[in-house]
Amino acid sequence: MKCQYCEKPATFHITEITESTGSQVMHLCEEHAKGFLQKEEADPVASIASALAKQLDLGQTKKDLEELDRKACPVCGISFFEFRNSGRLGCPFDYTHFATDLLPLMTNIHDSIEHVGKRPRKTAAADSQAVIIQLRREMEEAVEREDYERASEIRDDLRRMEQGEEGMGDA
Amino acid sequence: MKRSSDFNELATRSGEWMRGTGPESDIVVSSRIRLARNLADFPFIKRCSDEDRVSIERTVRAKMEQFANWDEVQYYDLEQLPEIDRQFLVERQLVSREIAEADGARGVAVSANEHFSVMVNEEDHLRIQVMHSGLDLQTAWNQVNELDDLLESAILYAFHPDFGYLTSCPTNVGTGLRVSVMLHLPALVITRQIEKVFRSMQRINVTVRGLYGEGSQYSGDFYQVSNQITLGRSETELVELVGGDVVPRIIEYERKARDYLVREGQQDLHDDVSRSLGILGTAKKISSEETMHYLSKVRLGVNLGLIDDLAVGTINKLFMQTQPAHLQKLHGRLLRSSERNVERATYLQRHLSDAFEN
């Protein structure tokens, strides 16, 4: 038997059992088996894809989805399409910007949309942190187009904001 | 915290979590808990520029250098380490394969006894993990919780009042907590009950991964049980789900299967175990899968009292040190796969005969 991912013989036969897919048998060569086994967790793209597929069943039209795919975060620039393909979000603000789109997804994955565990002693307003991330991105873009004057203005703004943060007390 | 790139001392030891001690250590190899955390003022790794990654690594390292009582903590700069050394850390489970193979600024802080490690710039900015030998999730949770408090005192985390700790992947959001218990279940494999047992676990939000699964030519009989969800339950509830509910049930099934094997097929089992020990002690070349397969049988034999002179800790150490990067570190140079098979056989022969003499 050949490995599922290459031409080498499959010497590893791995059964993966998860709630969402039931048991699934993989036939892999030593190299691919190592990569697979040493991944700490089940593939997030697969679980996100399956959770999104369930959402699709619930009646989102193709047009709705195309529109959603184009939606992009103003802070980090990631589109929902990129997220869907990689299973990774771009910045903390995505949880705010895509909140309505992520809620059904989180319900599917966790059967909950509400954190009930530990909370940090200090927190900052998500908006102020998003501004820092956005400014840093704008600064890098300014440097790229060699607009050094703009870049240095942004750097000063950032310094001020970061210093303000240092002085922040416990919430 | 001191910066290090020397593994010679580490290579000769096995981490404390591999000692083969702790509750239920005849079946539970290790208990691990990890927390995923991100800095509030940076994008997640996927959208980080190279400069962002450098800033994150520098910021976090500088903060950790200030921690009191961290004098004996080693920091490894993973961007600078050669591949063999990164592989070595993967084999010791101190870093993930992902971070070992990634690019850019990244590192890991490791405590002297290897109970904890803090990865910087993995899939999330911080991955804090604690690992113990045997089934000891409560100690692991207390320790990882303390580490998290310490890091939080120096770093502003990305946190949302409704969704909890924000993570790069929504599968980790909320607590960011993953409990993983590594189990050795040879009797359930031999008696062909393993699938049935895991099917019965499927509705309760845990994931079971078979490492070197049943039906293959060589099986190591190791399985990892983890919580699937991270949001909507507290950390202690998640720890209890895996450590108080699921794992004890699997342990009970494995014990029953071991009893059955001893009762109904002791001669066959004893034969199988002795032959496995014979192969490991006399082979002139041996692959890592074959080693894993026979070591698993020997481990069962030791735990059932069919082999007297070997300790579980010794077997655990052999599992670790016969992996490719460890073997090459101990040998002192890079080896081709065929050379490793010879070196592995020599190593096993030497250590198994040592074990019998002691």
Is A165 in Cβ contact with B233 (below 8 Å)? no
In contact, A5 and A32? CB cutoff 8 Å:
yes
In contact, B307 and B313? CB cutoff 8 Å:
no
- Distance separating alpha carbons of residues A139 and A154, to the nearest angstrom: 6
Q: Which residues of B touch A105 (CB under 8 A)?
A: 170
The pLDDT, as a whole number, for residue B237 is 96
Tens digit of pLDDT for each residue in B61-114?
Answer: 999 999 998 998 999 999 999 999 999 999 899 999 899 999 999 999 999 889
Chain B contact for A76 (CB, 8 A cutoff)? yes
The pLDDT, as a whole number, for residue B187 is 93
Is A132 in Cβ contact with B163 (below 8 Å)? no
Is A120 in Cβ contact with B152 (below 8 Å)? yes
**How many angstroms away from the CA of B164 is the closest CA of chain A?**
5
Chain A contact for B95 (CB, 8 A cutoff)? no
Q: Which residues of B touch A163 (CB under 8 A)?
A: none
**How many angstroms away from the CA of A72 is the closest CA of chain B?**
13
In contact, B52 and B209? CB cutoff 8 Å:
no
- Distance separating alpha carbons of residues B38 and A22, to the nearest angstrom: 32
Q: Which residues of B touch A118 (CB under 8 A)?
A: 145, 148, 175, 234-235
Is B235 in Cβ contact with A117 (below 8 Å)? yes
Alpha helices in A12-98 (DSSP H): 30-38, 44-57, 62-70, 80-86, 94-97
The pLDDT, as a whole number, for residue B19 is 78
Q: Which residues of A touch B207 (CB under 8 A)?
A: 17-19, 41-42
SS (H, E, C) chain B: CEECCCCHHHHHCCCHHHCCCCCCCCCEEEEEEEEEECECCCCCHHHCCHHHHHHHHHHHHHHHHCCCCCCCCEEEECCCCCHHHHHHHHHCCCCCHHHHHCCCCCEEEECCCCCEEEEECCCCCEEEEEEEECCCHHHHHHHHHHHHHHHHHHCCECEECCCEECCCCCCCCECCEEEEEEEECHHHHHCCCHHHHHHCCHHHCEEEEEECCCCCCCCCCEEEEEECCCCCCCHHHHHHHHHHHHHHHHHHHHHHHHHHHHHHHHHHHHHHHHHHHHHHHHCCCCCHHHHHHHHHHHHHHHHCCCCCCCCHHHHHHHHHHCCHHHHHHHHCCCCCHHHHHHHHHHHHHHHHHHHHHC
β partners of residue B227: B206
The pLDDT, as a whole number, for residue B316 is 87
**How many angstroms away from the CA of A107 is the closest CA of chain B?**
9
The count of C-alpha atoms lying within 13 angstroms of the C-alpha of B84, restricted to the half-sphere facing its C-beta, is: 17
Chains A and B: how many Cβ contacts under 8 Å? Answer: 206
Mutate to test the interface with B, among A8, A17, A76, A132 (most CBs of B within 10 A): A17
**How many angstroms away from the CA of A21 is the closest CA of chain B?**
10
Chain A contact for B168 (CB, 8 A cutoff)? yes
The pLDDT, as a whole number, for residue A83 is 93
Is A129 in Cβ contact with B41 (below 8 Å)? yes
Is B169 in Cβ contact with A48 (below 8 Å)? yes
pTM of the model: 0.86
The pLDDT, as a whole number, for residue B240 is 95
- Distance separating alpha carbons of residues B195 and A17, to the nearest angstrom: 9
> Which residue has tokens 């993953």?
B178
Mutate to test the interface with B, among A41, A105, A111, A138 (most CBs of B within 10 A): A41
Question: Which of the residues in chain A have pLDDT under 50?
Answer: 19-21, 40, 167-171
Question: Which of the residues in chain B have pLDDT under 50?
Answer: 213-217, 358
Is B214 in Cβ contact with A15 (below 8 Å)? yes
Is A25 in Cβ contact with B213 (below 8 Å)? yes
Domains of chain A by residue range:
12-58, 62-110, 124-170
Q: How high is the ipTM of this complex?
A: 0.88
Is B213 in Cβ contact with A15 (below 8 Å)? yes
Measured at the CA of A9, the angle between CA B336 and CA B340, to 5 degrees, comes to: 15
The residues near A120 (Cβ < 8 Å, ≥ 6 apart) are: B152, B157, B159, B165
